[in-house]
Amino acid sequence: MKRCILLIEDELSMRLGITHALSGAGYEITACEDGKQGVKALGQRRFDLVITDLRLPGLNGMEVLSKAKEMYPDIGVIIITAFPEIETAVSAIKQGAFDYISKPFTNEALLIVIERG
């Protein structure tokens, strides 16, 4: 069975690149460009995993993480960011994210993290 992943990324080229890579690896992807859209999508269906950028218009990645965990306590959430900060990474993990990845990263690296989850 295909795993369903919700991707929330405001940068178009990044969103398309990740969607293409994960679709090619057999995942079903729903992509949103901001946090509010992402939370709305979470309210409409169940996902196996959420990949969210940290800095987003509307709701940021930490707010998305919080809402996702409220709705589905056991959902996996990966935070991706171009602005890695130790404090934010620690906070994300404490709030239930299962990984925190700094951009740029390879599609292979992302797939390894997803498979680990």
Residues 6+ apart with CB under 8 A from 20: none
Share of the chain above pLDDT 70, in %: 99
pLDDT of residue 39: 98
| Cα torsion through 52, 71, 58, 78, rounded to 10 | -10
Total-model pTM: 0.96
pLDDT of residue 116: 85
Dist. CA 57–CA 43, nearest whole Å: 19
Dist. CA 77–CA 117, nearest whole Å: 9
CATH of region 4-13+28-116, choose from 3.20.20.70, 2.40.50.100, 3.40.50.2300, 1.10.580.10? 3.40.50.2300
The string of DSSP codes covering 11-38 is: -HHHHHHHHHHHHHTT-EEEEESSHHHH
Element (H or E) spanning 73, and its range? none
Rounded to 5 degrees, what angle do the CA atoms 71, 109, 58 make?
Answer: 40
pLDDT of residue 2: 75
The domain ranges of the chain are 4-13+28-116
- For the segment 23-40, the average pLDDT, to the nearest whole number, is 98
